[in-house]
Amino acid sequence: MKPIFKKVESKSEEAFVAKIDQFSQFYNKWHFHPELELTHIVKGRGTRFIGDHIEYFEDGDLLLVGSNLPHVWKNQNEESELAVAQVVQFLPTFLGNEVLGKLEFKQVQNLLTRSAYGLKIVGDTKGQVLRQLDVLFDAKSSLERLITLIRILDLLGKSTDLIPMSSSLFIVKADKQQVDRLNLVIDYTITNFASKITLDDVASMSNMSVSNFCKYFKARMKKTYVQYLTEVRIGLSCKLLIENKMSVHQIAFESGFVNISNFNRAFKLTKQVTPLSYRKSYHLD
């Protein structure tokens, strides 16, 4: 299944969409849309996939996802909990090409280009943007909201507190057959990563030999399929380690690893710390 094109609902007279999402689950299909998306996770935790990037997410995260960059939030709250997010969505040309082409918007234009990889917003900039988001959502007029969004984009354009997420430029507008094939594999992986997955499985669904599939996947994702699958599994294990409800041994098997040695080795290679050290960093008390 390829990433779904998701139409962003908006009124035709509005320059952008600002909304507060409250769901037991965020929209959890791998999808993309032409609008950029600034998302603040007010409450929620789980695993996010942005382009080829896999990472645990939690309360307080702030991200800017670029135009047509495939993404999904696999929310893992308890069923009784609501996940809450402040979301602002806008087209790259929401101010018009003539305005965005002016010198005053040069840094904003650079920001829009950088957002193609997805950007995690941290440091002092994160606090500044969160305060401006509160202003935006409390604004009484459409013009005040628009001015606040421009102020946010100006802050981000000048900031050095932006961490690129996807390691490669993830293009969805390519040869349809090739895109469908890759997306089928990614969707299958996201859905089944906790179970046993073999190269034979994913090569077969791609109608390729294992050798050809491995070359094909690495050429497009800039990493081997085994590396990608491992990163997906590590993403889940981070969530379980932070929750602190299972032993490290249990988490290894729950995340799809065949033994604890493989899990410890893969985790340290990916996160530069051991699973136990990672857990302790979240439970210092």
How much is the pLDDT for 168? 63
How much is the pLDDT for 107? 92
171 belongs to a structural domain: no
Among candidate residues 164, 185, 201, the one where a domain is terminated:
164
Number of domains in the chain: 2
142 belongs to a structural domain: yes
Amino acid (one-letter) located at 31: H
Mean pLDDT for all residues in the chain: 85
| Measured CA distances, 173 to 32, 33, 69, 70, 169 (Å) | 11, 12, 10, 11, 12
The dihedral built from the CA positions of residue 277, 279, 284 and 285, taken in this order, carries a sign that is negative
Amino acid (one-letter) located at 194: A
Are residues 137 and 38 part of one domain?
Answer: yes
Are residues 86 and 53 part of one domain?
Answer: yes
How much is the pLDDT for 284? 59
How much is the pLDDT for 75? 75
Which of 13-22, 48-57, 114-123, 256-265 has the weakest average pLDDT?
48-57
| Measured CA distances, 224 to 96, 132, 152, 227, 268 (Å) | 40, 40, 37, 5, 18
Are residues 183 and 94 part of one domain?
Answer: no
| Measured CA distances, 94 to 35, 99, 146, 239 (Å) | 9, 10, 10, 36
How much is the pLDDT for 189? 85
170 belongs to a structural domain: no
Among candidate residues 139, 164, 189, the one where a domain is terminated:
164
Are residues 154 and 13 part of one domain?
Answer: yes
Q: What is the pLDDT of residues 29-45, one digit of tens each?
A: 777 888 999 999 998 88
pLDDT band for position 1 (50/70/90)? very low
- Enumerate long-range contacts of 78-82, CB under 8 Å, 24 or more apart: 79/24, 81/24, 81/43, 82/22, 82/23, 82/24, 82/43
Task: State yes or no: pLDDT of 3 exceeds 70.
Answer: no
Task: State yes or no: pLDDT of 258 exceeds 60.
Answer: yes
How much is the pLDDT for 228? 87
181 belongs to a structural domain: yes
How much is the pLDDT for 199? 94
| Measured CA distances, 218 to 9, 39, 156, 170 (Å) | 36, 30, 32, 13
Contacts of 116 (CB under 8 A, 6+ apart): 66, 67, 69, 169
Are residues 211 and 150 part of one domain?
Answer: no
169 belongs to a structural domain: no
How much is the pLDDT for 179? 60
Contacts of 204 (CB under 8 A, 6+ apart): none
Are residues 214 and 158 part of one domain?
Answer: no
| Measured CA distances, 285 to 31, 60, 275, 276 (Å) | 39, 20, 17, 15
pLDDT band for position 95 (50/70/90)? confident
- Residues 39 and 85: beta-carbon distance below 8 Å: yes
**Angle CA(270)–CA(119)–CA(52) in degrees, nearest 5?**
50
How much is the pLDDT for 25? 67
How much is the pLDDT for 247? 93
Closest to 92 in 3D by CA, of 67, 125, 127, 68: 67
Task: State yes or no: pLDDT of 65 exceeds 50.
Answer: yes
- Residues 45 and 75: beta-carbon distance below 8 Å: yes
- Report, as an integer, the average pLDDT of 91-108: 88
Task: State yes or no: pLDDT of 7 exceeds 60.
Answer: no
CATH number for the domain spanning 43: value is: 2.60.120.10
How much is the pLDDT for 185? 86
CA distance 60 to 122: 10
Task: State yes or no: pLDDT of 2 exceeds 60.
Answer: no
Q: What is the pLDDT of residues 272-283, one digit of tens each?
A: 899 999 888 876
Are residues 140 and 61 part of one domain?
Answer: yes
Are residues 159 and 22 part of one domain?
Answer: yes
Are residues 217 and 120 part of one domain?
Answer: no
Task: State yes or no: pLDDT of 203 exceeds 80.
Answer: yes
CATH number for the domain spanning 202: value is: 1.10.10.60
Are residues 160 and 45 part of one domain?
Answer: yes
Are residues 183 and 152 part of one domain?
Answer: no
Contacts of 162 (CB under 8 A, 6+ apart): 64, 114, 119, 120, 121, 122, 125, 156
Range of the domain at 252: 176-282
- Report, as an integer, the average pLDDT of 231-258: 87
Are residues 51 and 12 part of one domain?
Answer: yes
Among candidate residues 133, 164, 195, the one where a domain is terminated:
164
